[in-house]
């Protein structure tokens, strides 16, 4: 039986703890504007129960880590934000084109994720974007693309704000039947990114 992520994480790696109590979807929708709430409700109405469960889980995780009100891009994508002084900064995106995959976008914390043994490069040389999930001893993997302003000339509207000005992002496509280990690994990547910006904010002088 594969280890859980808590078995892999050391006691010092508390960046996951906040996700033990993710925000409820009803609470999240109550904070949204009317148009964004309607887009989400219409999107959910078109999904199967399994597909919906995965979308809800990732949405709740991202919204817990990035608590400002979300913004939708049509009915298929959501942008998540944190405060950046008197402005806001996009840190996550979730895209669901309803083509058997859900696509998550998080800041590029791949080097940190390898350091913390969340994922490791898969041994197959012909799949450079494929990473094994350490907790599953290589039985599960993720396709993780590293995006920059240079290698992504025409980024989609839902994630273009996550690139440029030296910002980089990861794009992770998940099947709508994604197993728990893949979802946990994506949550870990997102939580690792959240810890980085939390530490940055804490370090700023009052």
Question: Where along the chain do its domains lie?
Answer: 21-203
CA 95, 154, 146 angle in degrees (round to 5)? 65
pLDDT per residue as tens digits for the range 122-174:
876 567 899 999 999 888 999 999 999 989 999 999 999 999 888 999 999 99
CA 65, 50, 143 angle in degrees (round to 5)? 60
Could you tell me which residue, 170 or 85, shows the higher pLDDT? 170
pLDDT per residue as tens digits for the range 18-66:
898 999 999 999 999 999 999 999 999 999 999 999 999 999 999 999 9
What proportion of the chain, given as a percentage, has pLDDT over 90? Answer: 72
Q: What is the phi-psi region of residue 166: left when phi exceeds 0, alpha when psi lies from -120 to 50, beta otherwise?
A: left
| Cα–Cα distance, 113 to 137 (Å, whole number) | 15
Could you tell me which residue, 165 or 80, shows the higher pLDDT? 80
| Cα–Cα distance, 93 to 52 (Å, whole number) | 17
pLDDT at 125: 59
What proportion of the chain, given as a percentage, has pLDDT over 70? Answer: 87
């Amino acid at each position: 039986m594969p280890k859980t992520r808590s078995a892999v994480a050391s006691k010092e790696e508390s960046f996951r703890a906040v996700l033990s109590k993710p925000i409820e979807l009803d609470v999240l929708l109550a904070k949204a504007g009317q148009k964004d709430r309607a887009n989400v409700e219409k999107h959910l109405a078109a999904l199967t129960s399994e597909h919906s469960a995965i979308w809800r889980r990732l949405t709740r995780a991202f919204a817990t880590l990035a608590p400002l009100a979300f913004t939708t891009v049509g009915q298929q994508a959501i942008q998540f934000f944190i405060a950046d002084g008197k402005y806001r900064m996009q840190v996550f995106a979730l895209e669901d084109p309803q083509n058997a995959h859900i696509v998550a976008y998080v800041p590029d914390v791949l080097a940190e994720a390898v350091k913390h043994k969340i994922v490791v490069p898969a041994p197959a040389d012909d799949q450079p974007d494929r990473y094994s999930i350490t907790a599953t001893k290589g039985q599960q993997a993720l396709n993780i693309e590293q995006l920059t302003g240079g290698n992504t000339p025409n980024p989609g509207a839902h994630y273009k704000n996550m690139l440029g000005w030296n910002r980089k992002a990861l794009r992770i496509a998940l099947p709508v039947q994604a197993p728990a280990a893949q979802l946990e690994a994506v949550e870990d990547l997102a939580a690792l990114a959240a810890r980085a910006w939390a530490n940055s904010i804490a370090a700023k002088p009052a």
